[in-house]
């Protein structure tokens, strides 16, 4: 998706003044959007005086960047803060804390007038193509609205430009005067895409762009987004609740859990060797269309219960209440997001497919023992075997030790012993089954989504 010739300047429609404005795109790979410590806490108010009694910590400290020309996929279960993050980076919501920079400019607290020029560069596609289009307006009016709002007069007039956009997204330009109800779900989403593209944006944030559509239509819309990126040199942030949608379009994927990024990695690394147990669980939930792969069924990881409330998230690692590897350190100490392998950042004390970061901490929490009952023997075996093999391979090299030192100076000494004891921290049962299964570290973890 990121092979677009981004160095070409993009000509935006002529302004009402009659001049043509040319904006130079950032070079491919350059940081387009940078987010630091981003938070959004929705206050909970009670009583006559509407006193604040708490807060929904929807987004609770995100650090990431989006590079020009790439597609960043954002996945996570419902309620983990993906939509809120999308609205924060498009500045539809005001952050509680943190910083959002677009092309190096701090846009965190820009007001309506300050944001107006930026609205052309950053656009959003919404989840529900039924409610995101005004039923009383023709699609010509809907797609033409951004030109009017921005005071832009495209060459040849708005009608001609709207008709061109309709054909770009695969709709009949003659349907300019029709109303949204005359279109199917997939076609409506195409209308939403045409509206988002009207002003030649640089960044498009698509919030669950296909989840309201029939499965048969989903691929068409995903392919359209892909084609448009190739042709127009767009940068995407695509939000989805499962990994199957973002798999084919993303260059990198961020996995969110309870308002935080738990893993951020290049797509291929994430699929081949997921490091966070939550990523692994999400991946195992993706249906496998190949019935020949019988083994895959037993590798399914069922997560215990629902995502905890973001009003009072669990201490330490927020995933510890549902994780089959959780030990005391997971309950008490929040793991930082660290680049354990080039192109793969993870926030976990006991990562999968990598040397243990807290090997001294071996006693499983009660929650973890219960969670492990929901994890198949094969998955536990594979997890323990790959972690042990990676630890053995890495030996006592500085990599895990360095990561641990940066993360938790107090743990550094323990982390250095990773190769010797890392397996113990997974689960003792897992270690036993790992040996029994004879899983090889050289074997790639199954690409379950294929």
Ligand X SMILES: Nc1ncnc2c1ncn2[C@@H]1O[C@H](COP(=O)(O)OP(=O)(O)OP(=O)(O)O)[C@@H](O)[C@H]1O
Cα–Cα distance for residue pair 431/426, rounded to 1 Å: 7
For ligand X, the binding residue among 28, 81, 359, 445 (CB under 6 A) is 81
Closer CB to ligand X, 77 or 367, in the complex: 77
Least Å distance, CB 44 to ligand X, is: 8
- Work out whether 42 is an interface residue with ligand X (CB under 6 A): yes
| Of 80-88, 176-184, 324-332, 412-420: span binding ligand X (CB under 6 A) | 80-88
Helix ranges restricted to H, 90-136: 112-121
Q: What is the DSSP string of 160-201?
A: HHHHHHHHHTT--GGGGG--GGGS-HHHHHHHHHHHHHTT--
Binding residue for ligand X, selected from 6, 67, 120, 241, defined by CB under 6 A: 241
To ligand X, the closest distance from the beta carbon of 237 in angstroms equals: 13
**Distance (Å, whole) CA 10 – CA 349:** 45
Q: Which is nearer to ligand X, 81 or 140 (CB)?
A: 81
Least gap, CB of 306 to ligand X (angstroms): 11
Structure tokens at 110: 């820009």
Which residue among 73, 144, 154, 310 contacts ligand X (CB under 6 A)? Answer: 310
The answer to whether residue 83 forms part of the interface with ligand X (CB under 6 A) is yes
Task: Give the Cα separation of 159 and 190 in Å (integer).
Answer: 17
Can you tell me which of 13, 69, 73, 79 binds ligand X, judged by CB under 6 A?
A: 79
Residues numbered 201 to 230 that lie near ligand X (CB under 6 A) are none
For the record, the structure tokens of 226 come out as 């892909």
Site for ligand X contains 318 (CB under 6 A): no
Longest dimension (CA), the chain: 75
Q: By CB under 6 A, which span of 82-90, 331-339, 377-385, 404-412 interacts with ligand X? A: 82-90
Residue 56: CB minimum distance to ligand X, A = 4
Distance CA 329, CA 316 (A): 7
User: Measured between alpha carbons, how far is residue 88 from residues 36, 43, 62, 206 in Å?
Assistant: 12, 16, 11, 13
Which residues in the 362-421 window bind ligand X by CB under 6 A? none
What's the DSSP call for residue 336?
Answer: P
Does residue 125 contact residue 180 with C-beta atoms inside 8 Å? no
Q: How far is the CB of 179 from ligand X (least distance, A)?
A: 27
Mark the segment that binds ligand X (CB under 6 A) among 13-21, 72-80, 191-199, 294-302: 72-80
3-state secondary structure of 345: strand
Distance CA 189, CA 120 (A): 19
Determine, following the binding rule CB under 6 A, whether residue 243 of this chain makes contact with ligand X: no
End-to-end CA distance of the chain: 19
Q: Does 58 bind ligand X (CB under 6 A)?
A: yes
Which listed residue (82, 260, 276, 341) binds ligand X by CB under 6 A? 82
Q: Identify which of residues 258 and 401 has a Cβ nearer to ligand X in the complex.
A: 258
Q: Is residue 245 within the footprint of ligand X (CB under 6 A)?
A: no
According to DSSP, residue 409 is labeled: G
Chain residues that interact with ligand X, rule: CB under 6 A: 42, 56, 58, 76, 78-84, 241, 310
């Amino acid at each position: 998706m990121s092979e677009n010739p981004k160095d070409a300047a993009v000509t935006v429609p002529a302004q009402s003044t009659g001049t043509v404005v040319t904006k130079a795109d950032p070079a491919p790979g350059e940081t387009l959007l940078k987010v630091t410590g981003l938070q959004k806490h929705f206050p909970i108010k009670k009583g006559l005086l509407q006193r604040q009694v708490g807060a929904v910590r929807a987004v609770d400290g995100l650090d990431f960047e989006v590079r020009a020309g790439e597609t960043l996929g954002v996945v996570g279960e419902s309620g983990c803060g993906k939509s809120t993050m999308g609205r924060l980076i498009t500045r539809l919501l005001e952050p509680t804390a943190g910083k959002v920079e677009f092309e190096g400019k701090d846009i965190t607290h820009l007001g309506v007038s300050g944001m107006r020029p930026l609205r052309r560069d950053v656009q959003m596609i919404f989840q529900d193509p039924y409610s995101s289009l005004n039923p009383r307006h023709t699609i010509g009016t809907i797609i033409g609205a951004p030109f009017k709002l921005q005071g832009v007069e495209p060459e040849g007039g708005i009608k001609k430009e709207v008709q061109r956009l309709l054909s770009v997204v695969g709709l009949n330009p003659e349907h300019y005067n029709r109303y949204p109800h005359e279109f199917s779900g997939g076609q409506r989403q195409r209308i939403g895409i045409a509206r988002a593209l009207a002003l030649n944006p640089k960044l498009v944030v698509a919030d669950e762009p296909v989840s309201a559509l029939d499965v048969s239509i989903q691929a068409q819309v995903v392919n359209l987004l892909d084609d448009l990126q190739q042709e127009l040199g767009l940068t995407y942030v695509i939000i989805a609740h499962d990994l199957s949608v973002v798999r084919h379009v993303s260059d990198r994927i961020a996995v969110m859990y309870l308002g935080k990024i738990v893993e951020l990695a290049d797509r291929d690394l994430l699929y081949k060797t997921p490091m966070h147990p939550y990523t692994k669980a999400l991946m195992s939930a993706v249906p496998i269309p190949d019935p020949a792969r019988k083994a895959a069924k037993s590798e399914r990881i069922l997560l215990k219960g629902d995502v905890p409330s973001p009003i009072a998230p669990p201490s330490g690692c927020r995933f510890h209440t549902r994780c089959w590897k959780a030990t005391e350190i997971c309950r008490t100490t929040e793991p930082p997001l660290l680049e354990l392998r080039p192109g793969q950042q993870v926030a976990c004390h006991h990562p999968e497919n990598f040397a243990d970061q807290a090997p001294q901490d071996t006693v499983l929490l009660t929650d973890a023992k219960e969670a492990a009952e929901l994890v198949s023997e094969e998955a536990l075996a594979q997890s323990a075997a790959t972690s042990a093999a990676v630890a053995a391979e890495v030996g006592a090299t500085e990599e895990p030790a360095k990561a641990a030192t940066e993360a938790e100076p107090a743990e550094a000494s323990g982390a250095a012993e990773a190769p010797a004891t890392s397996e113990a921290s997974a689960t003792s049962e897992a270690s036993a089954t790992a040996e029994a299964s004879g899983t090889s570290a050289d074997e790639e973890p199954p690409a379950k989504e294929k």
